[in-house]
Structure 1
């Protein structure tokens, strides 16, 4: 299946001014922006709305609670009209199903509904980290287990490491949207990510979206860094 891999720039900052500057400068050079916990907690939902204006928004809050609470939280976020939003797959089938119901009710036209993404195993986790929390499985095994659960319960797609793209496609087919953080252009610092790939590798593996933060936002010229990644994706 042929697909174009799209770029999400992660604007991870507690500064509204900084996020707005990045968003303004990158408006023509990325496919979407990500605003997550740090920015939302520091600056609030009005700031999320303002900074994301004119962009597709990946609202990455990774909700995880009892089904009613997560569903109510998503309902409160729907005025932001994100293109993609996240919950934790480990919250279970009922939590995922209730989340999907809320989004379908708020956005009866399917093309306008945010895509519901389930986070499988964080890209900062490895096998040792999973054992520390009582999971006796490799990251790949746990990702596939949670991925099957999430998609069967109503998630549109998954957030996963690039190294799990091929196994997930084998297990679930081409239908689920795969959003892949932990992407580092060749020569970039790995920071706290443990399961990483370059943009070209992730595109060739079959990612629908890649998420790149510090290699763009901490670059001397963020626009040039974003354009280089977009060029790399186009030639993959």
Structure 2
């Protein structure tokens, strides 16, 4: 169960990130490094150190550029031994990323629609679909591009799982355990419900890293997850 929980190291210093990892100890073995940590806390170096310590690393960089640049960037991340990397779920971008990751252990994830966005936000961005419709389109395109999985709201996890089948990762942020505040997230769900809906991995940051006892918070989330386990190779 611990392997399905990914803790987001959304902090601005490497010292704080390392402190969180130390506090979590063996309770967590999978960490997400996003913009804040990557740029503000030597996240690249931290990620390599975590990998050397036997942890799994998810670089949440949401790559989007011309095909050649994406391909070279994905290849560079693949060489680190990282487990996951995000790209924007545009067909050309995903195809370039899939090509670069071939033969490596890197699972490329296409980001569908951010969990901080709802139907009105999607319309304001110029899409003639609601959030669920855009997620469905991008899940189909991710499957066809041959990447390893997608990032989607837990509210779309069941739909996405039906589209991509059992072999792809469905990674869901927007996870809020019992009693946690939603913050700036709009499409959230509890841990057990997200797994039951088809998620393979859950990303949790603030409810763990801002807790007085991060290890206890992580164990509580793992206990909530315990009612449903999903296999993902």
- Matching residue of 2:54: 54
Please give the alpha-carbon distance, in whole angstroms, between the structure 2 residues aligned to 1:79 and 1:169.
Answer: 29
- Matching residue of 1:117: 109
Please give the alpha-carbon distance, in whole angstroms, between the structure 2 residues aligned to 1:46 and 1:167.
Answer: 37
Please give the alpha-carbon distance, in whole angstroms, between the structure 2 residues aligned to 1:170 and 1:114.
Answer: 23
Please give the alpha-carbon distance, in whole angstroms, between the structure 2 residues aligned to 1:142 and 1:221.
Answer: 38
- Pairing 1:72–2:72 present: yes
Contact 1:63 1:88 in 2 (8 A): yes
Please give the alpha-carbon distance, in whole angstroms, between the structure 1 residues aligned to 2:13 and 2:3.
Answer: 29
- Pairing 1:226–2:183 present: no
> Are residues 216 and 174 of structure 1, via their aligned partners in 2, closer, same or farther at CA, if it must alter by over 3 Å?
same
> Are residues 5 and 162 of structure 1, via their aligned partners in 2, closer, same or farther at CA, if it must alter by over 3 Å?
farther
> Are residues 4 and 23 of structure 1, via their aligned partners in 2, closer, same or farther at CA, if it must alter by over 3 Å?
closer
| Cα deviation 1:185-228 (Å, max 9, x = unaligned) | 12111111100001111122121000000000011100000001
Deviates more, 1:26-35 or 1:158-167: 26-35
- Matching residue of 2:165: 173
TM-score, normalized by length of structure 2?
0.91
Count of aligned pairs between the two proteins = 226
For residue 94 of structure 1, the aligned residue among 92, 95, 99 is 92
Contact 1:158 1:179 in 2 (8 A): yes
Please state whether the residue corresponding to 1:27 is helix, strand or coil. Answer: helix
Structure with the larger RCO, 1 or 2 (CA within 8 Å, 6+ apart): 1
Divergent runs of 4+, >6 A: none
- Matching residue of 2:231: none
For residue 36 of structure 2, the aligned residue among 35, 38, 53 is 38
Contact 1:30 1:230 in 2 (8 A): no
After superposition, residues 121-200 of structure 1 pair within 5 angstroms as 121-200=113-192
- Pairing 1:27–2:19 present: no
How big is the shift at 1:43?
2.8
Please give the alpha-carbon distance, in whole angstroms, between the structure 2 residues aligned to 1:56 and 1:47.
Answer: 12
Contact 1:183 1:210 in 2 (8 A): yes
Please state whether the residue corresponding to 2:55 is helix, strand or coil. Answer: coil
Please give the alpha-carbon distance, in whole angstroms, between the structure 2 residues aligned to 1:184 and 1:85.
Answer: 23
How big is the shift at 1:5?
7.6
Deviates more, 1:43-52 or 1:75-84: 43-52
- Matching residue of 1:11: 9
RMSD: 1.7
| Cα deviation 1:68-93 (Å, max 9, x = unaligned) | 1111112222332111111010xx32
Please state whether the residue corresponding to 1:26 is helix, strand or coil. Answer: helix
Contact 2:135 2:156 in 1 (8 A): yes
Contact 2:9 2:17 in 1 (8 A): yes
